[in-house]
Amino acid sequence: MTTGSDKRICVICAWRENCTKRYRVKSNALFDVNCADYTRDIKLRDKDLNKLVDDEIGRWKKEKKGQPGHVITLSSEAGAGGGWIGRILATDLNINMYGSELIHQVAESAHISDKVIKSLDEKSISFMDSMISSFFESRHIWPNEYMRHLSMVIHTLAIHGNIILIGRGANFILGDEAFRVRIIAPLELRVENVVRDSRVPPEDARKYVMDYDTNQIAFIRKYFNEDINKPEHYDMLINMKHLSVESAADSIKKAYLEWKLIRDKQRKMAS
């Protein structure tokens, strides 16, 4: 599908049987396409997940920097448009995005999460482990093996930087080290969005939205002893009631770039 000079094609996810995002991913002048969210709602096979992680570690080695990059954490109510906003930001800022399902799968596999964590040097890993232990102890929460792996993986991704992390409590794990965004919208609008994007009956969409919200709130309460809806947990809170995903993404981009500039100055002064 072509609209003026804006060519939209999708070759990355063609193997997905039920992809509703196909033909909505922008390409550049060279027709390079990467749907940054293509692992968001599928289960990757072990060999695919291994390859994805190996490729990412290879990229980190090539792009090794003198100082850490920056991170956007994106938390969204079901159907509020967080996924679409994340994809626009990833494209505009030329950074990678990790969907919640991908982060979950990496953390759930001890072999693969160890591979990600060991992309750092031993000193960094030791410091990070101590920091994570202090984080949970201060909240009187004792993490299970999965939560410890999840925290280590998210911190590792953050140290490599220049990424968007979707969900999984990343904003609570990283705190002020990330630019934290929360996307919300009225229930009826979210149900309409799910009906449109997933092509399901309204009653199924409503059940999905309400179940998702309940599970999300319970996950954050259980593992972080926090209320996901409190505004103080975010640098930016956006209500999509009267906004398009494009305008929301543009607002986040502007605020993030200003935040990034301030963070760079603070890092320079501290070094």
Domain boundaries, the chain: 1-35, 36-270
Strand partners, 97: 164
- Average pLDDT (47-58) is 70
Q: CB-based contacts of 23: which residues, under 8 Å, 6+ apart?
A: 1, 8, 9, 10
d(CA 149, CA 109): 9
Q: Give the pLDDT band (50/70/90) at residue 2.
A: very low
CA 85 vs CA 74, 105, 238, 242, 250: distances in Å:
9, 22, 11, 15, 9
Residue 1 has pLDDT above 80, yes or no: no
Residue 13 has pLDDT above 50, yes or no: no
Kind of pairing, strands 179-184 and 236-239?
parallel
d(CA 5, CA 155): 39
Q: pLDDT by residue (tens digit) across 238-249?
A: 999 999 999 999
- Average pLDDT (77-100) is 85
pLDDT at 128: 73
- Average pLDDT (73-85) is 90
Q: Give the pLDDT band (50/70/90) at residue 72.
A: very high
Distance of CA 270 to the CA centre of its chain: 28
Q: Which of 24-38, 42-56, 120-134 has the highest mean pLDDT?
A: 120-134
d(CA 254, CA 248): 10
pLDDT at 182: 95
CA 118 vs CA 112, 158, 162, 166: distances in Å:
10, 14, 19, 22
Q: pLDDT by residue (tens digit) across 178-190?
A: 999 999 999 999 9
DSSP code string of 110-173 = HHHHHHHHTTS-HHHHHHHHHHHHHHHHHTT----HHHHHHHHHHHHHHHH-SEEEESTTHHHH
**Architecture, CATH, for domain 36-270:** 3-Layer(aba) Sandwich (3.40)
pLDDT at 144: 76
- Average pLDDT (211-239) is 91
pLDDT at 130: 76
Distance of CA 133 to the CA centre of its chain: 23
Q: Give the pLDDT band (50/70/90) at residue 10.
A: very low
